Structure formats: structure tokens, C-alpha cells
């Protein structure tokens, strides 16, 4: 899938940053230690994985640095969901090759989904790469580094059916000290025909509930006030105690995390339309600190295309899920989506079905793509990528235009209303403004005053754009 830059204009600025720009490790005060530099590309799962890698390497005697020039070891944590993401990493390797010529002892490693997809082939194609490690091999990285230091190329792309890294306390990178991500499960069993994730992240497995709750509690005690539970499909989370006396589904886990403290906000991503249940929705309604926002990817509004995508639901099923969200959580519940334009054999009428579904769902914002064939996926093997590039882009632009209008309309609903906002930091546009999110995951900007990060404030919304709410703090 290939994201077009214009889609980002309707997203919050940090969503754009998360989608298109790499996140890098921070400078850590340390003397006499080797330096690790990590660049993370792609989804929040990758950023969460980089925090695990940083923790593993700290135990191996490394300290992080915020600049590649200071590093003894550089890791690129990669994304394989679209070709653009892989090309960006290859271009970055060319830049790092200049640095490696200046520092021959410098080691460069590739982590994540691109590493898993290409495996040892990466070492042949990119001579600069010394280490290749897939998403389930991060415990083994210190050994791989030792092997590379001896002059050998080192590879571990073994996919595990058990690994969840539940016992590793992540080092929070690029943290604002207020919001954090907790990985609750790994892998995916859904096998959507367009998606490479099941092949790069392996089968689905869930962390034990106690370790998740413990991590949430530790974060709260260390000043964090919001956690996002992460998984490729959080609604299929399931964990059972070894003695079979306890079984926890996602609704149960959500409740346990919400009970850590009323001042700890809880979010989650991503939900799959086939698995999200009324039990989850009622749990959200029960607890004020579970945010009323759901990311519910549709991918298409046409049942035939959904079947080709192997999404395992049809248009009517998806609409019924939207109806249940509105019935249980109300009209103001935030809903966002993923949508693909120009999937294989998509007709103009089927594209219109996507637009009509969007209009029915009244999404707050979305992530929109033109279909891009990924090698090794079921769609690449079974279907011709037969929609012309210009048709894909025209359809995508129509989806973007509709979403931009809906985003503005949905934000206008908040004008004149008071929003509870968690202060996340200074606005990027002005040091005199602070910013934070409301319950529906919308960015709110307001005057700084004497407020500080981590506080909850009440903001009266006075105006808005398609991406941002603007207001004044009230008592």
C-alpha cells in the first residue's frame, strides 16, 4: 500500500510524524559505554519494538545516542507494508554507507518487517548491513552483535509462536513522559490478501494479562497518564492461566487496565470489524477513563472487494458494527478508518460504494492509500494489479476530499463544548500554546498559562480546523 502525502493534511501533526518520518533514539548520559542509535519506521508496533531493543541492548552494555555520527551500532527498524517505506530505508543505507567508510568499525543492522521479508537476501543486496534480525529475534541481538564484531554477517529471522517480550521493561524512546504504548500481543492470523504482516510478524499470540497490568501500573507510578494497548488485532486478544483457572479476553483486559487508576487514560489500536464485540463497547461505556475512540479499518465499502481482500466480513456487517458503536457509545464517539483505493479489479461503482460507506460512518479521520502490490502476499499471487495508476490516484483524491470535509464537520460538533484534555506538551506552532488530546483522540490547542504536562484541563472549544480543535481553558 502506498500512502499519498495529501492524506496527512487531515491528520494530527504527530500522526503524520508517526506515519512518514522515522523516530530516533535519544541521547542517554553514559560514560565508557558503546553507543546505540535506532531509527524506527512505520507503525506504532515498530516504535514499541525499538523500546524493547533499547532495553535488551542496555543490559548488554550499550547506551543510546540521538545522532548516527556518535554511534558504534546503528539499527534501522523497518516497515514492509508498502514499497515506499522499503525504498526510504534503502536510501538511508546509502547515506549511512558514507559514515561507515569514515568509521570502519561501525556496525549497521536491519530490524523488523523488512528484515523478516527479505531475510539473508538483504546481506547480498546491501553490503553495508552486518546484522539482520526479525521481530521475534530481539533477545538474540547481543549475540548477533558479537558475531558481527568478529567480522561475520549475523542473521536471525526465526518467527516464534511464543515470544511476547512480556518480561522486558521497554526503555521509553522519544517519550513525552505522559503517554506510552503497551504491546499486548504480537503477530496476526487474519491473512488479508493485500497485507504482508502475517508473513513478517508471524502467528498471533497474547501476553499474559498480569504483565500488561503491571506495566500499566508502573507507567502510572512514573508519571504517565495515558496508555495505548497495541496489537495488530486487539479484539482477538485471549490469555489463559497455565492451570486453566483464568481466561481473559480483550474486554476483560481493558477493564483490568482501566482499574489501575481513574486518572490513567486507556486507548487501544487496532480493532478488526469481525472481532470487536458489544462486550468491548459496553466496557468502554462503563469506565470514564477508557477513551471513546475506535480505529476500525474498513479497507473498502464494497462486499465483492472485501471478499477479494479476505477481510471475512461484508459491507452490511461493517455497517452493523458502526451502528452498534453509535448505539452504545453515542454519536460523539470518535471513529477512524483505513481505506484502500484501486484494489485489484475495483470498478467505478465499487469505488462509489466506498465513498457511500464513508458518508454513512461519518469518520473523524482516516489513513488512506492507493493500492500497491506487495511481493509474497495472497493478492500478488492471485490477482492482477490492473487498475491504472492515474485511476487509483483520482479515486484516492476523492476519498481524501470526502474525509477532509467530514473531519471538519465532525470537529465542528465540539465548538461551544468543554473538552477534557490531557496536556501532552507545547504546541509545535507556538511556545505560548499547549496541546493535548480529548477523549476522541483529537488534538486540542490552547494557551499555556501556568499549566504543565500530565495535567488534565477543561478546554472550551471556540474554533477548529479539519485536524485541530482550538480553545480556552475554563475552570
Given the C-alpha cell 543490559, which residue does it identify? 59
Using DSSP's 3-state secondary structure scheme, residue 188 falls into coil
DSSP assignment string, 386-424? -S-HHHHHHHHHHHHHHHHHHHHHHHHTTTTSEEEEEEE
CA-CA-CA-CA torsion for 472, 473, 474, 475, nearest 10 degrees? Answer: -170
**Residues of the binding site:** 43, 79, 113, 188, 192, 195
Residue 381's contacts (CB-CB under 8 Å, 6 or more residues apart) are none
**Residues of the binding site for [4Fe-4S] cluster:** 43, 79, 113, 188, 192, 195
Residue 232 dihedral angles phi and psi, to the nearest 5°: -65, -30
- C-alpha span between 314 and 321 (Å, rounded): 11
- C-alpha span between 47 and 53 (Å, rounded): 10
Strands 185-186 vs 205-206: parallel, antiparallel or unpaired? antiparallel
**Is 375 in contact with 430 (CB distance < 8 Å)?**
no
- C-alpha span between 228 and 298 (Å, rounded): 21
> Residue 195 — left, alpha, or beta (φ > 0 → left; ψ -120 to 50 → alpha)?
beta
Q: Is 111 exposed, middle or buried (0-12, 13-18, 19+ CB in 10 A)?
A: buried
Amino acid at each position: 500500500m502506498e500512502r499519498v502525502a495529501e492524506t496527512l493534511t487531515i491528520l494530527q501533526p504527530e500522526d503524520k510524524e508517526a506515519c512518514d518520518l522515522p523516530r530516533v533514539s535519544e541521547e542517554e548520559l553514559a560514560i565508557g559505554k558503546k553507543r546505540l542509535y535506532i531509527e524506527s519506521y512505520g507503525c506504532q508496533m515498530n516504535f514499541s519494538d525499538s523500546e524493547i531493543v533499547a532495553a535488551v541492548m542496555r543490559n548488554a552494555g550499550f547506551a543510546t545516542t540521538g545522532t548516527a555520527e556518535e554511534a558504534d551500532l546503528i539499527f534501522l527498524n523497518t516497515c514492509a507494508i508498502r514499497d515506499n517505506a522499503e525504498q526510504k530505508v534503502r536510501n538511508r543505507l546509502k547515506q549511512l554507507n558514507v559514515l561507515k567508510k569514515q568509521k570502519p568499525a561501525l556496525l549497521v543492522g536491519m530490524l523488523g518487517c523488512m528484515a523478516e521479508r527479505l531475510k539473508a537476501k538483504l546481506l547480498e543486496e546491501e553490503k553495508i548491513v552486518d546484522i539482520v534480525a526479525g521481530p521475534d529475534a530481539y533477545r538474540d541481538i547481543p549475540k548477533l552483535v558479537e558475531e558481527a564484531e568478529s567480522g561475520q554477517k549475523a542473521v536471525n529471522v526465526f518467527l516464534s509462536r511464543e515470544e511476547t517480550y512480556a518480561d522486558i521493561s521497554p526503555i521509553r524512546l522519544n517519550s513525552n513522559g505522559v503517554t506510552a504504548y503497551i504491546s499486548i500481543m504480537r503477530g496476526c492470523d487474519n491473512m488479508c490478501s493485500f497485507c504482508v504482516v502475517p508473513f513478517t510478524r508471524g502467528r498471533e499470540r497474547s501476553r499474559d494479562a498480569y504483565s500488561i497490568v503491571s506495566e500499566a501500573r508502573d507507567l502510572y507510578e512514573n508519571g504517565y497518564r495515558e496508555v495505548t494497548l497495541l496489537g495488530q488485532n486487539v479484539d482477538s486478544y485471549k490469555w489463559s492461566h497455565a492451570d486453566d483457572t483464568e481466561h481473559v479476553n480483550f474486554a476483560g483486559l481493558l477493564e483490568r487496565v482501566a482499574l489501575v487508576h481513574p486518572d490513567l487514560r486507556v486507548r487501544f489500536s487496532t480493532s478488526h470489524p469481525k472481532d470487536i464485540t458489544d462486550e468491548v463497547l459496553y466496557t468502554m461505556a462503563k469506565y470514564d477513563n477508557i477513551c471513546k475512540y475506535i480505529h476500525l479499518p474498513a479497507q473498502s465499502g464494497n462486499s465483492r472487494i472485501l471478499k477479494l481482500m479476505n477481510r471475512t466480513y461484508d459491507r452490511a456487517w461493517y455497517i452493523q458494527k458502526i451502528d452498534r458503536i453509535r448505539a452504545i457509545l453515542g454519536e460523539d464517539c470518535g471513529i477512524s478508518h483505513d481505506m484502500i483505493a484501486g484494489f485489484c479489479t475495483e470498478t467505478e461503482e465499487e469505488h462509489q460504494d466506498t465513498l457511500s460507506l464513508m458518508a454513512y460512518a461519518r469518520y473523524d479521520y482516516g489513513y488512506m492509500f492507493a493500492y500497491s502490490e506487495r511481493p509474497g502476499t495472497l493478492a500478488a499471487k492471485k490477482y492482477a494489479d490492473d487498475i491504472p495508476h492515474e485511476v487509483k490516484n483520482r479515486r484516492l483524491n476523492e476519498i481524501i476530499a470526502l474525509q477532509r470535509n467530514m473531519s471538519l464537520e465532525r470537529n465542528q460538533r465540539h465548538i461551544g463544548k468543554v473538552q477534557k484534555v490531557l496536556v501532552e506538551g507545547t504546541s509545535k506552532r507556538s511556545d505560548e500554546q499547549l496541546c493535548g488530546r480529548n477523549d476522541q483522540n483529537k488534538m486540542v490547542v490552547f494557551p499555556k498559562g501556568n499549566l504543565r504536562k500530565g495535567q488534565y484541563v477543561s478546554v472550551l472549544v471556540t474554533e477548529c480546523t479539519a485536524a485541530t480543535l482550538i480553545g480556552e481553558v475554563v475552570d
